[in-house]
Amino acid sequence: MGSIGQSHASTGLITAREAGLVACRRCGQVHALGTQNCTRCHGALQSRDAQSLQKVWAWLIAGIVLFIPANIYPMLLTNTLIERSDSTIIGGVVELIHYKSYGIALIVFVASIMIPIGKFIAIAYLAISVQQQSILNMHQRHKLYDFVEFIGRWSMIDVFVVAILSALVQLNTIASINPGIAALSFALSVIFTMFSAQSFDPRLIWDADRKNR
């Protein structure tokens, strides 16, 4: 515990809030507490967003709910002269392995399965740890937040694959590819999870450090 206590008590760093100020999250400009809009970038100011965690949970739950049909229903509907087939997200990965495209199979698997699930867990963990005012691993949690914000949008890869394939493969009777319902629910799941991560106020991670002192 020693090192955590020393981390800022000894360096004498104070937050804008403790100095009676409110900082703009978009541009860093500080204002007197109670100022409504940033003088520099005109963004709305909030010392701490009281509803931050509620929004995080609401978007996160919506994202998780839509992730379920995204995995059950077909992502791609393929019609060729010989056959008609539907493939789910996992089915698409299996198909790529079948074609011996292991690298691409890995990219799709990571982007469509691992990143979304990892993101659900990471955001839930961050929200719970803030609610419990945990003072453990603040640096690591902050890095986790940055990582989640950075990586989330890459889940969109499979949606673009479906869109490109369905635009490209329209060869009358020979072959056609169309998007399935999972493409839409997956895209919405990614969008909602991005909203969830953006609703999280990372300053809450560091606030717990002060309240417990």
- 44 is in the binding site of which of Zn ion, another protein, none (Cβ under 5 to 8 A by kind)? none
Q: Considering only CA atoms, which of 210, 213, 212 is closest in space to residue 19?
A: 210
Cβ proximity to Zn ion: between 20 and 43 the closer is 43
Interaction between residue 94 and Zn ion (CB under 5 A): no
Interaction between residue 139 and Zn ion (CB under 5 A): no
- 139 is in the binding site of which of another protein, Zn ion, none (Cβ under 5 to 8 A by kind)? another protein
Stretch that binds Zn ion, among 4-12, 31-39, 86-94, 96-104 (CB under 5 A): 31-39
- 108 is in the binding site of which of Zn ion, another protein, none (Cβ under 5 to 8 A by kind)? another protein
Interaction between residue 27 and Zn ion (CB under 5 A): yes
Cβ proximity to another protein: between 7 and 88 the closer is 7
Question: What is the Cβ-side half-sphere exposure of residue 17, based on CA atoms within 13 angstroms?
Answer: 12
Give the pair of three-digit tokens for residue 203.
């300053």
Q: Considering only CA atoms, which of 161, 157, 194, 198 is closest in space to residue 66?
A: 194
Phi, psi of 40 (to 5 degrees): -90, -50
Instruction: List Cβ neighbours of 203 (8 Å cut-off, separation of 6 or more).
Output: 15, 25, 48
Residue listed under structure tokens 């060869």:
171
Interaction between residue 72 and Zn ion (CB under 5 A): no
Give me the least distance between CB of 179 and another protein, in Å please.
Answer: 5
H-run or E-run covering 31: strand 30-32
- 161 is in the binding site of which of Zn ion, another protein, none (Cβ under 5 to 8 A by kind)? another protein
